[in-house]
Amino acid sequence: MEQRLLAAIAASRAWYDDIFDLHRIAVGSDGALWWAEGAPPRWHSAVKTLVPTTDPSGALLRMERHAHGTIADSFGLLDLAAQGFDLLFAATWLHHRGVAAAAQPLGWIRVLDSDLMARWNQHHDTVGVLPPDLWAHPRFTVLARHDGDDLTGGAILHDAGTVVGLSNTGPPRTVRSIRACCLRLRRRPTPAEPSSTTPGSGPRHMLGAGFEPLGPQHVWIR
C-alpha cells in the first residue's frame, strides 16, 4: 500500500480524534474501522474505514447506532447503495512533499483570538463544529486571509505527527498562497516534512499548486 496514502488517512483519523475529543464525543477503533459512539459534529462521518475492504459488514455494524449520518470509505472500495445509502461525494486524497519556509504572503495572518475565530467559523460555515478556541490547541494552526477589512479565505493545519493535515482551504484562487505560507506559520516549521490534505479541497486548484493525487475517498449517507 502506498505509504503516503496511509499517512493521509492516518492524518484524517487524527483530525477526527482531536475534533471529537473537543466535543467530548467518545470514539472507538479496532484498527480496521474508526467510529463515533455518539452523534458526530456537522461535516463529520460516524464511521471511517482505515484499511481497504469491499466487505461492508463491519462498517454497517458500527453504523447501527446512528439512524442517520455518513460512512467515510477511505479507499473508495465499498458499494453501500444496496444497504440504503447514497453516495454523498467522491473525493481525492492529495499530498505535497513540503515547501521551504518563505515570507508570509500579503493578506494572510494566523488566528490568535476567539473573536477572529468566530468570524472565521461564520465564513466557513463551521459554527458549532470548530470551537472558538481551536486556534489555541497545540496541534491546530488556523490561518485567515484578508482583503482590507474583509475575511476572504482561510485554511487549517493539523499536526498529525509524520504529516501535516491541510483542510478547510479556500477560496480556490488562494491555494498557491496557502501552500507558500503554511509551513511559514506553523508552530514547529520543518521544511522537509510532507503535508497531506483531506479530500474536498478543490482538487484541480490543489493539483495546480503542486499537490499529487493519492487515491479516492467515497462518503456515503443515509
Q: What's the pLDDT tens digit per position in 114-144? A: 999 999 999 999 999 999 999 999 999 899 9
pLDDT digits (tens, 9 = 90+) for 63-101: 999 999 999 999 999 999 999 999 999 988 988 776 666
Confidence category of residue 189, pLDDT binned at 50, 70, 90: very low
Cell numbers linked to 150: 474583509
- The rounded mean pLDDT for the chain is 85
Which backbone phi and psi does 187 adopt, to 5 degrees?
A: -65, -30
**Residue 54 pLDDT > 90:** yes
pLDDT tens, residue by residue, 158-175: 988 888 888 887 766 666
Q: How confident is the model at residue 177 (pLDDT cuts 50, 70, 90)?
A: low
CA angle at 197 for the pair 50 and 141, rounded to the nearest 5°: 110
Q: Half-sphere exposure of residue 107, counting CA atoms within 13 Å on the CB side?
A: 14
Range among 97-106, 151-160, 183-192 rated most confident: 151-160
Grid cell 493578506 — which residue? 107
Let me know: does 135 contact 126? Beta carbons within 8 Å. Answer: no
Q: Are strands 195-197 and 164-170 parallel, antiparallel or unpaired?
A: parallel
Three-state secondary structure call for residue 150: strand
Cβ-based neighbour number of residue 197 at 10 Å = 28
Could you state, in order of their start, the residue ranges of all structural domains in the chain? 3-92, 96-213
Q: Where are the alpha helices (DSSP H) in 69-191?
A: 114-124, 175-182
- Cell numbers for 2, please give them: 502506498
What does the alpha-carbon distance between residue 151 and residue 123 come to, in Å, rounded to a whole number? 7
The CA angle 192-193-198, to the nearest 5 degrees, is 140
Q: What is the identity of the amino acid at 138?
A: P
Q: Contact, 157 vs 182, CB < 8 A?
A: yes
Q: Read off the pTM.
A: 0.88
Class of the CATH domain delimited by 96-213: alpha beta
